[in-house]
Amino acid sequence: MSKRRFQYPGEICRPGERVIETIDHRIFESIPIPGVELAAVQALEKIIRPMGAAPQPVKGIVPKEVIPILVQEIKNKLYKNIAFSTAVGVVDQPLGLRDMGIVADAMTILAVGGGFTYKMNSQGNDSTTAVAAWVEDEFEIEEIYVTGLGAGTAQVRVNWNPDLIRIRP
C-alpha cells in the first residue's frame, strides 16, 4: 500500500492543506491495456498531420471588423442555351435573361460564331471578347449584352438555381 495525493471534484483545498488518501496502486496493474503495434502508429502519423501553430498576423496589416459571410453550396438546377446573331450591326443587344426571370450563376460560351464581345449586368461595364469554352462563374448574371464582330451565330449557356434566395441591397 502506498499513499497518494488526490483531489476530488467539488472539493476545496486551502493553500497549505494536503489531501491524503490511501489507495492500492496494484489495481491499475490488473487493468488490461491493449498493445498498439508501432507500424499502426506510424501509419496514423502519415495520415494525421499534427496541428501547427496558429497563423501569425502580417506586420503592417490592421485587421478590420470580421463580417460573417453566408456560403451556399447548392448546385445549379437549370440551364438554358441561348443562340444569337453575331452580325456587325448587333450592338449591346440584351439576351433577355431579365425578361425570362433568370439570375444566372454561371455562363459558358459554347460557340463564338463570327465573334462577339459581351458585357454582364450593365451596358456601362467593360466589354470582354468571347472565347469558346470560356466560363464566367464569379458573378450573379442578371443580363448579358452582346456586340457582334462578324457574320455568324453564337451560343451561350447560362446555369442557375431558382431555389436560391437572393437579397437585394
The structural domain count of the chain equals 1
In a domain, 85, yes or no: yes
**CATH code at 92?**
2.60.120
Mean pLDDT by groups of 10 residues along the chain of 169 residues: 54 57 60 62 68 63 64 78 93 94 93 95 95 92 95 94 73
d(CA 57, CA 25): 49
In a domain, 16, yes or no: no
Reading the block at residue 27, the C-alpha cell is 489495481
**String of DSSP letters for 116-160:** EEEEES-TTSPPEE--TT-EE-SS-BS-EEEEE-SSSEEEEEEEE
Looking at residue 162, its pLDDT comes to: 84
Reading the block at residue 76, the C-alpha cell is 445549379
In a domain, 107, yes or no: yes
Report the chain's terminal Cα–Cα distance, integer Å. Answer: 75
Residues of the domain holding 109: 78-160
Note the helical H segments in 22-168: 26-29, 38-47, 97-100
**String of DSSP letters for 67-93:** -----------EEEEEEEE--TT--SE
In a domain, 52, yes or no: no
Looking at residue 53, its pLDDT comes to: 59
In a domain, 46, yes or no: no
Looking at residue 39, its pLDDT comes to: 67
In a domain, 134, yes or no: yes
Q: What is the pTM of this model?
A: 0.56
In a domain, 168, yes or no: no
In a domain, 42, yes or no: no
